[in-house]
């Protein structure tokens, strides 16, 4: 039986992995929180691997407070760069395959066509910069790695855009949501299934892959679909980013090309609204 270590064990994606892993009888998932395993402490990581026979490490641990990172770069770097490097170095010592979750924020959003894995990364905020540095640290430390960049992650668990909109929709009659940032919502359960598919596949090409649900949306489109599907009555107004200034700049366009991961795993990716319907059904 393969032991699969999952860091960030209390987070949104790890919780979805718990749900998906219940169907995987031949895999033993070990979910650890930051209190149980501090990935920024190299000796703690090394000690954990010494005591446990780990075949795969899925790094779901991340500093994801995008705006806070602008004034808290040291802590963002500690988790997103140093933590990623520590895991990668220890994985190399124990011949453990590392699956690391990254982000569309490694791109600046200036492109008007799909972002491929070969496109130049030019992040425009501290969060994106630290996630890119984490990717580079992994690639420099250990060849047996899979980096999955994803976007606009949501689910029934944790704090995310879906749950924020449902809360605001129950509290307010009117809402303004940004219409000029374009990307793709990603249901964390769909991402969890893809991660397990990598583990199930005997022979894989290591490297960087893009994954989100299919389709294109603005945050306004995403919010409108949430309210339409959940039958929440709220007057929704499209607003420009400049009307809702944030400490961190976001890419204005970050739709990713998923051809590589579809070919690698031979999968069909669900359309974002179809997955949103499932999440909302589960929440209700």
Convert the pLDDT of each residue in 166-176 to its tens digit: 999 999 999 99
Residue 44 to residues 153, 164, 171, Cα–Cα distance (Å): 29, 35, 44
Catalytic machinery residues:
127
Say how far apart CA 47 and CA 51 lie, in whole Å.
6
Note whether residue 39 is domain-resident.
yes
The pLDDT > 90 percentage for the chain reads: 93
Check residue 25 and give its pLDDT. Answer: 74
Note whether residue 180 is domain-resident.
no
Residue 150 and residue 5 in contact, taking contact as beta carbons nearer than 8 Å: no
- Judge whether residue 43 has pLDDT over 80: yes
Report how many domains make up the chain: 1
Which structural domain range is residue 89 located in?
2-158+187-213+255-269
Check residue 71 and give its pLDDT. Answer: 97
- Judge whether residue 23 has pLDDT over 90: no
Check residue 186 and give its pLDDT. Answer: 98
- Judge whether residue 27 has pLDDT over 80: yes
Say how far apart CA 139 and CA 117 lie, in whole Å.
14
Per-residue pLDDT, averaged over 220-234, amounts to 97
State the chain's mean pLDDT as an integer: 96
Q: For 74-105, what is the HEC assignment? A: HHHHHHHHHHHHHHHHHHHHHCCEEEEEEEHH
Say how far apart CA 13 and CA 205 lie, in whole Å.
23
- Residue 18 sits in a domain whose CATH number is 3.40.50.720
- Judge whether residue 24 has pLDDT over 80: no
User: Which has the minimum average pLDDT: 43-47, 199-203, 246-250, 254-258?
Assistant: 199-203
Convert the pLDDT of each residue in 99-118 to its tens digit: 999 999 999 999 999 999 99
Note whether residue 236 is domain-resident.
no
Check residue 128 and give its pLDDT. Answer: 98
Per-residue pLDDT, averaged over 264-277, amounts to 97
In the chain, count H helices and then E strands: 10, 12
Which range is most confident: 197-201, 222-226, 243-247? 222-226
- Judge whether residue 96 has pLDDT over 90: yes
Name residue, tokens 């489109």.
Answer: 221
Note whether residue 229 is domain-resident.
no
Check residue 1 and give its pLDDT. Answer: 82
């Amino acid at each position: 039986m393969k032991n699969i270590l999952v860091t960030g064990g209390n987070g949104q994606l790890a919780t979805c992995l718990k749900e998906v892993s219940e169907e995987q009888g031949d895999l033993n998932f070990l979910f650890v929180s930051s209190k149980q395993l501090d990935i920024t402490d190299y000796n703690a990581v090394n000690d954990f691997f010494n005591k446990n026979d780990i075949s795969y490490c899925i790094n779901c641990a991340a500093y994801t407070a995008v705006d806070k990172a602008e004034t808290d770069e040291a802590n963002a770097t500690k988790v997103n760069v140093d933590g990623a490097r520590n895991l990668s170095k220890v994985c190399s010592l124990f011949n453990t395959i590392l699956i690391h979750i990254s982000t569309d924020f490694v791109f600046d959003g200036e492109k008007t066509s799909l972002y491929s894995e070969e496109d130049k990364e030019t992040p425009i905020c501290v969060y994106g910069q630290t996630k890119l540095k984490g990717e580079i640290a992994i690639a420099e430390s250990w060849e047996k790695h899979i980096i999955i960049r994803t976007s606009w992650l949501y689910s029934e668990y944790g704090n995310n855009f879906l749950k924020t909109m449902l809360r605001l929709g129950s509290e307010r009659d009117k809402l303004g949501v940004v219409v000029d940032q374009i990307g793709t919502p990603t249901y964390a359960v769909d991402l969890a299934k893809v991660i397990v598919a990598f583990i199930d596949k005997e022979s894989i090409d290591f490297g960087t892959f893009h994954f989100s649900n299919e389709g294109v949306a603005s945050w306004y489109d995403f919010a409108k679909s949430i309210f339409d599907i959940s039958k929440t009555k709220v007057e929704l107004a499209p607003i420009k980013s400049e009307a809702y200034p944030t400490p961190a700049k976001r890419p204005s366009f970050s739709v990713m090309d998923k051809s590589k991961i579809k070919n690698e795993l031979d999968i069909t990716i669900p359309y974002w609204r179809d997955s949103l319907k499932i999440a909302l059904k589960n929440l209700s």
